[in-house]
Structure 1
């Protein structure tokens, strides 16, 4: 068994674009759930909205900054449309509504009536919308090796995508750190603990929830952009499983913490890659085929989420006194 190659592949997931995208999506979910207590089970919908907004605007000839603003604006509109009729719901009722809303976004995206706009179930090819992002890179078009890791500087799975992706994650973590220490953030945490008590103090709980939903949705839209830069925009790749992966990452790292989503994303993808790589190298094809190994890896993810909720709901970095799962 080639342990050097296995460990190199697993270590590469630490700073992979996908890891950064999921970390940023979990930061947004952390604003929803960790700070405000909103059971949003449709975070993947915000990623898909952001990805479509960015890709469609770029294909239409808009510059990079304008395409990013379109993605953010689309997420804000979606959050407001979702929040107006639903934010008075609590717990599992809100979870049902949000997961349904995300499914609506996915089904609309794959609708054949919108083939010219969204590409339907085939999605939008990456080479149609990546040019403006790659043109912004200050690096020459070459391949760069840093230690055992070798990637192109400007192509899809590049150092440039990694640099921008993790830069955005760092800014998002800084923003959340500032929020946690602000009066606005303290109101959100008060809503999470007892919204009736916050309402009795004269605070507009509905307004604060809406602001939280919008902010977390914007982080989700930015995560969607980072997620599709190394690949295509494919609606079925951002469905219900993605939301559950984001929840696993948040609970693994620790909700209501600054770096919990980042740590959770790194551990999640490194462990998953390590499990799959070891099984591919060590288990004969006659015992477990490649597709079965893929499925087994996700089974481990499901078991991990169950064990987290049962034995350590506050996550690795979380404080049990600060937050425990409560879906009342």
Structure 2
């Protein structure tokens, strides 16, 4: 087995755009669930709106890259309002069903040929990178070392993504230390008690849905910066991965989503490279394809064990746990 290649591919995910994008989206999900207690299973919809809003704005309407990003974030905020008005008064399990259905509706809208002129339906969109890459402050060349070696465009995507992630973490940290954040945590624990104090619980939930959705859309933008935006990327598995990341790192934590994203994708990369190699060597009695699928089973079992034995996550505090009624 080529351990050098296996470890190199695994370590490469430490600063991968995919890892950064999922860390951003999981940070938004932490606002929804970890701090507000909203059981949102529709984060894939927010990411899709961020990515498609950016790509369509640049390709079809000729906006600059930063303008396209603002459009993607605005669409996510609008989607949060449209989604939240009829659903935020629902019980947690009903909210989960509605949000996962809403995310699927968003994905199918981008898949249908009705909007083919703008979305290119199931084939997705590409070729929107010129403006973003034109703003690259790094001269042409190769940067980094070992598994962390990229050209100027790869470095620019990572630096920009890390800047967005740092801004999101700082925003969440500031909000949760503010009176607004303390009210939000109170709603998570007992919204009836908060309502009895004269607070507008619905308004706070809506604000949390918007803030978390916009952060998730930022993750969706980073996700499509290196390559293309394709509707098949926004299936329910994306949302389930985000929940795994959130629960792994800690739902009501500032850095938990980022840590969870790094660990999740490094483990996925390690298993994705190691298991097929073991199958080829005859150590595992299965084909390469079956070995590749086995990693999802192992990750699922790991998630079950985390929920059973450490439900607060790696960085979580058990006193911050909330049991959604």
Q: TM-score scaled to structure 2, two decimals?
A: 0.96
Do the aligned partners of 2:195 and 2:201 also contact (CA within 8 Å) in 1?
yes
Specify the alignment match of 2:270 in structure 1.
274
Unaligned runs of 5+ in 1: none
Do the aligned partners of 2:244 and 2:303 also contact (CA within 8 Å) in 1?
yes
**Is 1:91 the equivalent of 2:92?**
yes
Unaligned runs of 5+ in 2: none
Question: Equivalents in 2 of 1:106, 1:242: separation in Å?
Answer: 12
* Equivalent residue in structure 1 for 2:244, among 248, 263, 269: 248
* Equivalent residue in structure 2 for 1:319, among 314, 317, 320: 317
Question: Equivalents in 1 of 2:320, 2:81: separation in Å?
Answer: 29
Residue-pair matches, total: 322
Do the aligned partners of 2:12 and 2:147 also contact (CA within 8 Å) in 1?
no
Per-residue deviation, 1:148: 4.1
Specify the alignment match of 2:297 in structure 1.
299
Per-residue deviation, 1:149: 2.7
Range that drifts further, 37-46 or 113-122:
113-122
Do the aligned partners of 2:9 and 2:147 also contact (CA within 8 Å) in 1?
no
**Is 1:144 the equivalent of 2:140?**
no
Question: Equivalents in 2 of 1:294, 1:217: separation in Å?
Answer: 32
Q: After superposition, where does 1:1-328 map in structure 2 within 5 Å?
A: 1-59=1-59, 60-125=61-126, 128-154=127-153, 158-284=154-280, 287-324=285-322, 326-328=323-325
Question: Equivalents in 1 of 2:291, 2:160: separation in Å?
Answer: 32
Per-residue deviation, 1:150: 2.1
Per-residue deviation, 1:285: 7.5
Question: Equivalents in 2 of 1:44, 1:115: separation in Å?
Answer: 21
Per-residue deviation, 1:107: 0.6
Q: TM-score scaled to structure 1, two decimals?
A: 0.95
Q: Per the alignment, in what secondary structure is the counterpart of residue 62 of structure 1?
A: coil
Once the two structures are superposed, residues 260-294 of structure 1 have per-residue CA deviations (whole angstroms, 9 ceiling, x without a partner) of 00000000000111112111222217743332222
Question: Equivalents in 2 of 1:181, 1:97: separation in Å?
Answer: 30
Per-residue deviation, 1:131: 1.0
Question: Equivalents in 1 of 2:314, 2:182: separation in Å?
Answer: 22
Per-residue deviation, 1:90: 2.1
